[in-house]
């Protein structure tokens, strides 16, 4: 049996989100290896595994192993691992993880885009599509994003979409050999009765 709201494919003009699939392996690997300097400062690693070379962790074989775990987690309703596409081609990822049900109904999001496609609104569009889906078909109440204070482009994405700054998590994630502070942002369903994508589009016109 599938989890609530999964699998799902959504699109807005040139940007789409859909489940990652096995035939993404070669493009995903090429993009992740080419974007090492762009991505590595923002991505957490389990302490003790940090010495595995980036190229090894982003081979097509590593993708297949990662996808197996993600599919299992998605089927259990614990994550929604979306590929982001631009004009139908793989462009990045938006991953909803740490889905907690019960009285919390909350999850975290992480995201990245190929540096060659940065600055075109790909991630804010994909993130708005995903958040709206989480608040409707998945039935979640709150989505959280945690960002290093130094990550100005990521903070800008959340600012554009109107995520609320809720505080600072000291020493939150292990990145590049250190426990790094993160700023915490969130949006709840009451904040966007009209939908996040629709609200952002209206802000752009105003």
Ligand X SMILES: CC(C)(COP(=O)(O)OP(=O)(O)OC[C@H]1O[C@@H](n2cnc3c(N)ncnc32)[C@H](O)[C@@H]1OP(=O)(O)O)[C@@H](O)C(=O)NCCC(=O)NCCS
Binding mask 36-55 for ligand X (x = CB under 6 A): --xx--x-------------
Q: How far apart are CA 203 and CA 196, in angstroms?
A: 11
**Minimum distance, C-beta of residue 160 to ligand X, in the bound complex (Å):** 6
**Minimum distance, C-beta of residue 102 to ligand X, in the bound complex (Å):** 26
DSSP reduced 3-state for 29: helix
Q: Does 111 bind ligand X (CB under 6 A)?
A: yes
Interacting span for ligand X (CB under 6 A) from 20-28, 71-79, 112-120, 183-191: 112-120
Q: How far apart are CA 178 and CA 93, in angstroms?
A: 24
The residue among 34 and 75 lying less far from ligand X, judged by its C-beta, is 34
Q: Does 200 bind ligand X (CB under 6 A)?
A: no
Q: Does 151 bind ligand X (CB under 6 A)?
A: yes
Q: Which class for 182: exposed (0-12), middle (13-18), buried (19 or more C-beta within 10 A)? A: buried
The residue among 93 and 106 lying less far from ligand X, judged by its C-beta, is 93
Instruction: Tell me if 17 sits within 8 A of 83, measured CB to CB.
Output: yes
**Minimum distance, C-beta of residue 3 to ligand X, in the bound complex (Å):** 24
Q: What tokens were used for 55?
A: 């190229």
The neighbour count for residue 183, using CB atoms within 10 Å, is 19
**Minimum distance, C-beta of residue 181 to ligand X, in the bound complex (Å):** 13
Which residues ranging from 152 to 171 are in contact with ligand X (CB under 6 A)? 153-154, 156-157
Identify the DSSP state of 192: -
The residue among 3 and 118 lying less far from ligand X, judged by its C-beta, is 118
What lies within 8 Å, CB to CB, of 175 at 6+ separation is 41, 42, 43, 44, 45, 148
Q: Does 25 bind ligand X (CB under 6 A)?
A: no
Bridge partners for 12 per DSSP: 15
Q: Does 16 bind ligand X (CB under 6 A)?
A: no
Q: How far apart are CA 194 and CA 185, in angstroms?
A: 20
**Binder among 47, 53, 102, 119 for ligand X (CB under 6 A):** 119
Interacting span for ligand X (CB under 6 A) from 3-11, 55-63, 66-74, 106-114: 106-114
Instruction: Tell me if 55 sits within 8 A of 33, measured CB to CB.
Output: yes
Residues lying near ligand X in the complex (CB under 6 A) = 38-39, 42, 111-113, 118-124, 147, 151, 153-154, 156-157
């Amino acid at each position: 049996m599938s989890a609530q709201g999964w699998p799902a494919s959504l699109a807005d003009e040139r940007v789409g989100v859909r489940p990652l699939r096995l035939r993404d392996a070669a493009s995903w690997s090429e993009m992740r290896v080419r974007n090492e300097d762009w991505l590595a400062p923002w991505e957490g690693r389990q302490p003790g595994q940090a010495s595995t070379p980036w190229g090894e962790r982003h081979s097509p074989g590593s993708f297949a192993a990662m996808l197996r775990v993600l599919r299992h987690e998605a089927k259990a309703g614990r994550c929604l691992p979306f590929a982001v596409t631009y004009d139908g081609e793989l462009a990045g990822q938006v991953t909803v993880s740490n889905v907690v049900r019960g009285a919390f109904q909350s999850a975290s999001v992480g995201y990245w885009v190929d540096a060659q496609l940065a600055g075109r609104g790909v991630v804010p569009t994909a993130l708005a599509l995903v958040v709206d889906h989480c608040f409707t078909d998945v039935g979640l109440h709150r989505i959280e994003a945690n960002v290093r204070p130094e990550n100005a482009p990521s903070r800008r994405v959340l600012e554009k979409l109107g995520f609320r700054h809720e505080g600072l998590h000291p020493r939150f994630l292990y990145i590049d050999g250190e426990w790094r502070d993160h700023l915490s942002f969130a949006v709840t369903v009451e904040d966007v009765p009209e939908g996040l994508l629709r609200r952002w589009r209206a802000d752009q016109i105003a």
